[in-house]
Structure 1
Amino acid sequence: MASLCTGLAPHVSPRTAAGLRGVLARLAAPLQVAVAGRIKSGKSTLVNALIGRRVAPTDVGECTRLVTRYQYGTVDRVEVVLTDGRKQVLPFDAEGMVPAQLGVDLATVSHVEAFLTNAVLRDLTVIDTPGLGSLDADSVARTEAVLHQSGLDPVSRGAVAGAEAVLYVFTQGVRVDDRQALAAFTAATAGREAGPANAIAVLNKADTIAPETVDGADGDVWKAALLLAERQARTLKPRVADVLPVIGLVAESAETGGFSSADADALRKLAELDPATRETMLMSADLFTAWECDVPQGARARLLERLDLHGVRTALEAVDAEPAITAGALRRKLLDASGLDGVRGKLNAVFRARADGIKAAAALASVSALAAASGDPNERQRVHNAIEVLLAKPEAHQLRLLEALTLVASGAVGMPVDLAEEVLRFGVSPDPVEQLGMVGRPPEAVAAYALERAGWWRSFASFGATPAQSRVAHVVHRAYFLIWQQVRGHQRVRGRR
C-alpha cells in the first residue's frame, strides 16, 4: 500500500497527492484504536489501565469533552490543537494527568494530543472520546464526529480519521444507541464499518452486575459478568470480535500505582475483624466508611475510591487465604480479578497481531475514497488500475479477506447464518486453528478440514452463489487453501526432523 501511494503521488492532482501523503503517514504510524461508549461507561478509566498510567482525567472537566489522542513521544507534553491548525503546548498537571482546564475557549479546540514516553504506546495510539448520551451537545457532536465524521473540519478529521479499530465500552446492557454507534463506525475506520476484524466490546463495571439477575450465575458476580458478556456478544455479533468483562476501576488502581502499600496495610487490619462485623461493613459504602473500627475512616474511604466494595471484598479474600501476602502480590491478585489481562490479550490477538493488515485495509479504503472524490475521470481510472494490480498479488490476500469480513459483517453481502458465522471466524483470531474452530485437534485433522472446506467454498462460488456471494466465496476458498498449505508445510518440516 505504501508503494502504491508513493507511485501514484506524482501522477495525480495536488489535492489527491496530499491525501496520499496522509495515508502514507498513517501507514507509518502505530495502529490507532478509538475508545468509544456512553457517558459514565468508564472509558477514561479503562484508557488509564491500558496505558498503565493515570493520565486521562476521569472526572467531568473540559478535556473529557474533547477528543484526546494518547501517543508515544520522547518528551511528555500536552498539545491543544486549535481548529485553525495552531497548537498550544501545556505541561501535565501536578499529578501527571492531562489538565482538567485547558485555558482556552473550547469552541476553538479541535482535539488534544498527549505525548507520553510510554512503551505501550510505541505500537498503539489510543484515542479517548467524549461519551455518547452526554447532556452536553458539543461533546456528543465530537464523539459522533469520531464515529462518522459528519461535518468535521479538516484538522479534527485528521485527528480521528486515522483510527483503524474501535474498543467499545458499555455497562450492564447494550442499548439501541450502542448498536447504532457501532454500526456508524465507518469514518473512524477510514470508511469501513466495525466488524470482527477491527472491533472489540468491553462490559465495564462488571462488579456492579447483580448476580441474581443472571441465570446460571449461582450468586457469583464474575460468573454473572462472563455469562452476560457472552449474551451481549451474541447480540453485537457480527459487529465485534468479542465482548469481554472488566472491572475498570480495579484495573486502573492495580496497574497505575493507585493501589499502595498503605492500602495493603489497611486491608490486612480489616481482615483481622471478626467475620460478622466485616460482612456487615461490606453491605454498603456508607456502612464501610462509617462503622467504628481500628482502621481510620480516611483509609477506608481511599480503599472505596480505589477498589469499590467488590474490589475490597476480593482483596480481603486474598488476605484471608494468605495473611502474609505482600502489597505487590495483592496488587497482582487484584489485577487478575479485574479482567484487564483478558482485554489486553484480545487486543493483541485481534488488533496488534494483524495491525499491518488492518492499517493496509484502512489505507486501501482511504485511497479508494480519494479516487471517488476526484473530479478527474482519468485520475479515478489511474488509481483504480493501481488498486487492481495490487489486489492481484498473492500477498494482498489479507486485504481481500478483511474486505470480505467487512462485507459480511455489515450485511452488504447477505449470507445464510451458518455460512456468515464461518466467514466471520476468520476475524476472531489470526491463529488458523482458531479460525477453523479446531483448537486441540491434530494437524492432520486440521489440514483435512481446511482442504475440504476450500473445495466446498470453491464449488459454492461457481454454483448457487449470487455474484456478491461468489466474490466473498472465492476469498474464503483461498483462505482455507492457504491454511491447508501452511499446516501441511509444518507437518513436512516435523516429518523431516
Structure 2
Amino acid sequence: MTHRFDTAAPAGRTTSTVLAEAHELVAAAARVVDRDDYSRGLLADCAYRLRAPLRVALAGSIKAGKSTLLNALVGQAVAPTDATECTRVVTWYRDGATPAVTAYAADGARANVIVRRGGGAHGLTFDLSALTWDVAGPREVDHLEVDWPSAALAQTTIIDTPGTSSLSREVSQRTARLLTPAEVEGGSPAAPGADAVVYLLRRLDATDVRFLEQLGAGAGGAGPLGVIGVVSRADEIGAGRIDALHSARDVAARFAGELERTGLCQAVIPVAGLLAYAASTLRQPEFAAFEALATVPAEVLGDALLSADRFARADSALPVAPELRAQLVDRFGLFGIRMANMLIRLGVRDSGSLAAELAARSGIEELRSVLEVQFGQRAEELKAHSALSTLDRILTAHPGTEADRLLPRVRARLADVHGFTELRLLGRLRTEELPLPAPVLADLHRILGGTGVAAHLRLGLPVDVDPRTVRATAFDAVRTWRNRAAHPLADQATATACRAAARSAEGILAALPR
C-alpha cells in the first residue's frame, strides 16, 4: 500500500494543505490545554500520527485468519498464527532497522520478548512466559510492538487485534477500545488507534454486524473513515475444492449485498490468506514436490486429497516423502495443493511462475489493489481525519476556555475537507440507489475517486494523457455535474452527490500547473 498521488481537493486545497492545517490546529490546541497532561499526550500522538505511516487495523472474529493475512500482506512471517497468548493482545507491526518485539504494560513499563522460530505454518512464536520488565514488579501485557524491516510496513503500520468474539470479554474489549474508544475514567476523551480497518469475515453473524455498526458510529462519529471487508479463509468455504474461490466470491457478493444496505463496508473481497502467504514464501523443494505430484494419475492424486490425513499418511505410494506432504498441507492447504497441481499440469515450469499464479488466485492481489485505492491513495486524508476527530473530542472536553474559539475551526475542517466528503459519499453510493442511469453512476463513482485519486483515473483518461486534455475534460466535468445538480427534478441526495462531483472536478483543475 503506497501513497503515490497528492489527491485533488476543491478550490486548490491539496492533501498537503489539509495536513498542514491539521498540524496547525493540533499545535494551537496544545497551547489551549497546556496544563492538562493527559490531553497534551493525546495531542502529541495526533501530531506524531500525522507524520507517521497510515495505521490500518486487522479486526474480526476469533480464528478469522488475521495473523495469516498480515503475513501475506507483508510477504514475511512476522506474526505468530498459532493460538498463543500473543494473539490475545493488540500487536503493532512497524518498519524497523532490525527485528525486535517489545511488550508494554498499561503503565508504560517495557520488556523485551523472545522470538522463537519453528517449522510449518506456525513458524514464529512470541514467548511471553518469562518477561523481565524494566520497572520492578509483576505486570500484565497491555500490547506488543513489533519492529521489522519491511517495505510494506514502511508505508503502513498494521495492527493485529484479538478476536471480537473471544470467549473472554476482556480480550474482545481490547479490540473495541483500540478502534472505538469510549471516554476514559474521569470523562477524558480517548482516541481511536487506527485510521482505517480491514474487517475479516468467515460468516456474517450478529456479532460482526454489531461490531461494524459500532465501528461506523465510532466514538461520537469519530471512528475510522475507511472499512474494507474480507471473506477470509476463502479456500475453506468450498471444502478445499478447486472451485473454492468461486464459492467464496458468491459468499462475498452476498455479504457485500447485506453490508451495502447498512453502509458498513466500502468493499468485500474474498481472500485465501494461507495460500497467499505460502505463495509469497514458496520454496524450491516445495515446487519440486508439486512437480512430482503432477506425475501421479489425476484419479490417484484426487483420492489422496480427499482429506489432509489421507494425503500425509506414511504408507501412501505418492512420490513425495510423508514429512514434506504434511508440510505442504500445513502451508498450502488442500486447496493450494490442488491449485498448484492444476497449474503445473497446465504448463507452469518454475517456482517463480507458480508463486505468481497462486498469489493471483488467492485474492491477495485484488485486496492489495482495493487497499491501495481506498487507503493508500488517501492515506493523508485518513490520517488528518483521525487527528481532527480526536482534536474535536479534546476541545469539547475543555468548555469555557480558549477551546471554545478553536473548536469551530476544527469542525469546519471536518465538514469542509472534500476528501472526507468523497469517502463518505463513496460509502453511501453502495447503499443508496440514486435515480441516475448506470453509466452516470459509474462516472460519479469514478470522479469521486472510487477507482483511484489520480486525475486521469477520475476523468476516465489514459495514463499518458497530456495536461491540455486533462484541463478540457475537467472543465467539461465541472459543467456537467453542476448542471445535473441544478436539474429541477433532482432530489436532495442526488443534487448533493452531483455537487460533490463538481467540486472533485474543480479540485483537478486547481491542482494542474498554471
CA–CA distance in 2 between the matches of 1:73 and 1:109? 21
Secondary structure of the 1:174 match is: coil
The answer on whether the counterparts of 2:61 and 2:166 sit within 8 Å (CA) in structure 1 is: yes
Q: CA deviation at 1:112?
A: 0.5
> 1:304 — aligned with what?
329
> 1:113 — aligned with what?
145
CA–CA distance in 1 between the matches of 2:194 and 2:363? 25
**Which digits, 9 at most, give the CA deviation of each residue in 1:121-141, with x for residues without a partner?**
112000000112222333222
> 1:192 — aligned with what?
222
> 2:17 — aligned with what?
none
Identify if the C-alpha distance between structure 1 residues 309 and 152 changes in structure 2 by more than 3 Å, giving closer, same or farther: farther
Identify if the C-alpha distance between structure 1 residues 489 and 398 changes in structure 2 by more than 3 Å, giving closer, same or farther: closer
**Which digits, 9 at most, give the CA deviation of each residue in 1:370-417, with x for residues without a partner?**
11111x323232222433675798xx43245446667x5899xxx765
**Which digits, 9 at most, give the CA deviation of each residue in 1:78-108, with x for residues without a partner?**
1101011111122432458351434259972
Question: Quick one: which amino acid aligns to residue 293 of structure 2?
Answer: L
Query: What is the alpha-carbon root mean square deviation over aligned residues?
Result: 3.8
Question: Quick one: which amino acid aligns to residue 272 of structure 2?
Answer: I
Secondary structure of the 1:381 match is: helix
CA–CA distance in 1 between the matches of 2:193 and 2:149? 21
Question: Quick one: which amino acid aligns to residue 103 of structure 2?
Answer: V
> 1:167 — aligned with what?
198
> 1:210 — aligned with what?
238
Quick check: which one's helix share is greater?
Answer: 1
Number of equivalences: 464
Question: Quick one: which amino acid aligns to residue 336 of structure 1?
Answer: A
The answer on whether the counterparts of 1:249 and 1:307 sit within 8 Å (CA) in structure 2 is: yes
| Aligned residue among 37, 40, 62 for 2:63 | 40
Q: CA deviation at 1:436?
A: 8.1
The answer on whether the counterparts of 2:78 and 2:148 sit within 8 Å (CA) in structure 1 is: no
> 2:210 — aligned with what?
180
> 1:354 — aligned with what?
378
**Which digits, 9 at most, give the CA deviation of each residue in 1:25-68, with x for residues without a partner?**
11111100010001111111001111111121111111010000
**Which digits, 9 at most, give the CA deviation of each residue in 1:264-322, with x for residues without a partner?**
11111111112221121122223222333332211111111111111101101111122
CA–CA distance in 2 between the matches of 1:488 and 1:186? 32
| Aligned residue among 426, 447, 450 for 1:428 | 450
Identify if the C-alpha distance between structure 1 residues 241 and 27 changes in structure 2 by more than 3 Å, giving closer, same or farther: same
| Aligned residue among 309, 315, 323 for 2:340 | 315
The answer on whether the counterparts of 2:222 and 2:390 sit within 8 Å (CA) in structure 1 is: no
Secondary structure of the 1:145 match is: helix
**2:103 paired with 1:97:** no
CA–CA distance in 1 between the matches of 2:499 and 2:283? 54
CA–CA distance in 1 between the matches of 2:332 and 2:195? 32
Q: CA deviation at 1:456?
A: 3.3
Q: What TM-score do you get using the length of structure 1 for normalisation?
A: 0.81
Question: Any unmatched runs of 5+ in structure 1?
Answer: none
Secondary structure of the 1:109 match is: coil
Task: State which drifts further: 276-285 or 244-253.
Answer: 276-285
The answer on whether the counterparts of 2:272 and 2:362 sit within 8 Å (CA) in structure 1 is: yes
CA–CA distance in 1 between the matches of 2:480 and 2:26? 38
Identify if the C-alpha distance between structure 1 residues 434 and 182 changes in structure 2 by more than 3 Å, giving closer, same or farther: farther
> 1:327 — aligned with what?
351
The answer on whether the counterparts of 1:190 and 1:363 sit within 8 Å (CA) in structure 2 is: no
Identify if the C-alpha distance between structure 1 residues 358 and 181 changes in structure 2 by more than 3 Å, giving closer, same or farther: same
Q: CA deviation at 1:120?
A: 1.0
Question: Any unmatched runs of 5+ in structure 2?
Answer: 1-21, 132-136, 464-468
Question: Quick one: which amino acid aligns to residue 477 of structure 1?
Answer: R
Q: CA deviation at 1:250?
A: 0.7
Question: Quick one: which amino acid aligns to residue 480 of structure 2?
Answer: E
Identify if the C-alpha distance between structure 1 residues 270 and 400 changes in structure 2 by more than 3 Å, giving closer, same or farther: closer
The answer on whether the counterparts of 2:451 and 2:457 sit within 8 Å (CA) in structure 1 is: yes
- Percent identical: 28
Secondary structure of the 1:185 match is: helix
> 1:383 — aligned with what?
406
The answer on whether the counterparts of 1:164 and 1:189 sit within 8 Å (CA) in structure 2 is: no
The answer on whether the counterparts of 1:98 and 1:114 sit within 8 Å (CA) in structure 2 is: no
